[in-house]
Amino acid sequence: MVGNRSTRLVYKISQKMKTIINSVELLDANGTSFESCISNYLKGNQANFSVHTKAPLIGVPRYDIPITDEELDEELESIGYDENSMPRVTKLAVLACSRATKGLDLPSNTPVIGVTLQGVQEIAMLIYKSLFAEKRMVSPRWGAVVTQSSICTTVSRHLNLYGPSFMVNQACSAFITAFDIAEKYLDNNQAEAVIVFGVDCATHPYTTYIFNSMGVYTKESVKPFAVDRSGMALGEGVACYVLTKENKARNKLASIGKISLYNDYYNLTAPSPDGAAGKFLLKDITESDSIHLDSINCHITATKIGDEAEILALDSLPYQTFIYGLKGSVGHTMSSSAGIEMAYSLAGLRQGWIPYTSLTEHTVNSKHNIVLKYPIYKQTENFGKLSFGFGGTSGAVRIDKL
């Protein structure tokens, strides 16, 4: 009897407490709030697909948040933020995090983990402007505020938080890496809550040149899964999540089922053509729990090599499910893409619909059901999110309904 009771006690203690998604905020090419983004998307409204007139490469399209700098400054001033000299990427991060944490009584030591690729572009543009103005040095203040780490510390300072504050810079899988770090903070009882945000803007020639030189930038439409896909377009967006443990959650939107990270070291920019990373990730987030994914939010970029590798990985699953890609609606928001796109899947999980792939008509062959043009209204229990980045860095997360 004693042995049996001890066994049960050990099992109870060793059970892992769920990580809960407690709050979400989103601004992207479909809207200026989580609600407006989802509403516009469900109505089938095409996102703001515009011409990148600020870049020397005229005619290259991008997806922008439909909020002007003046409107952004006005709302920030209303919540007590008056650093008008900060770059747009920092202001967007502050706005999203302020909204996501409104009404939540967060401990002052709450960690803030940010994700962006924007700091490098901002400082590069500042240097270029300085040179053209025939100045010999950059203001120390400006040199500080445009670095990636300062975006995160600015958010912490505005929210009156004094816990760890740092950025994750890891290409397109960075948001999932940030989720993994946040979960470790919570699992180790080092925090009661963690803020994770991602923000990127497609407004700099530096970024445009990089992707254009790789031959992956479309000058037409972004068509994930399409036979006639011609490439991707960058997008602007910001997403913020507040994560807590189950016993500390005020709201319970969904739980993080499993996170998986992988690096295949195959190539600096191209994925392994056999889909090895995706196969590992899909297996890892489902097999140990014997769970089938009801739908998969794919990274799918509308590039030739990237889409082919991902479809091979998806077709390795021993069952059929629903798959979709969102970059035709919001653009490719780089390191923030997983967080921004995952917000749509989260809304669908709670409201009873599966997101769709816009613009695409004639798809490549796949064993799965590629959701096109309209959402499928169906109750589901989970979804998976895949992300693949430069240098072979990849990540996946399974989100479960509560």
For the stretch 196-213, pLDDT in tens is 999 998 766 667 777 777
Domains of the chain (ranges, CATH numbers): 17-248 (3.40.47.10), 256-400 (3.40.47.10)
DSSP state at residue 71: H
Handedness of CA 147, 148, 153, 156 (dihedral sign): positive
Residue with tokens 């254009």: 212
> Rounded to the nearest 5°, which phi and psi values hold at 109?
-95, 15
Q: CB–CB of 173/261 below 8 Å?
A: yes
- Band (358; pLDDT cuts 50, 70, 90): very high
- Alpha carbons 242 and 251: distance in angstroms, whole number: 10
Q: CB–CB of 327/202 below 8 Å?
A: no
- Nearest-5° angle of CA 215, CA 390, CA 310? 80
- In this predicted structure, the answer to whether residue 139 has a pLDDT above a threshold of 80 is no
Lowest mean pLDDT among 34-48, 76-90, 125-139, 200-214: 125-139
- Alpha carbons 245 and 248: distance in angstroms, whole number: 5
- Alpha carbons 88 and 95: distance in angstroms, whole number: 11
First to last CA, the chain: 35
Residue with tokens 């992988």: 262
- Alpha carbons 123 and 146: distance in angstroms, whole number: 6
> Rounded to the nearest 5°, which phi and psi values hold at 51?
-90, 135
pLDDT of residue 96: 98
> Rounded to the nearest 5°, which phi and psi values hold at 165?
-140, 115
pLDDT of residue 122: 57
pLDDT digits (tens, 9 = 90+) for 248-296: 888 999 999 999 999 887 777 777 888 999 999 999 999 877 899 999 9
- Band (390; pLDDT cuts 50, 70, 90): confident
DSSP state at residue 112: E
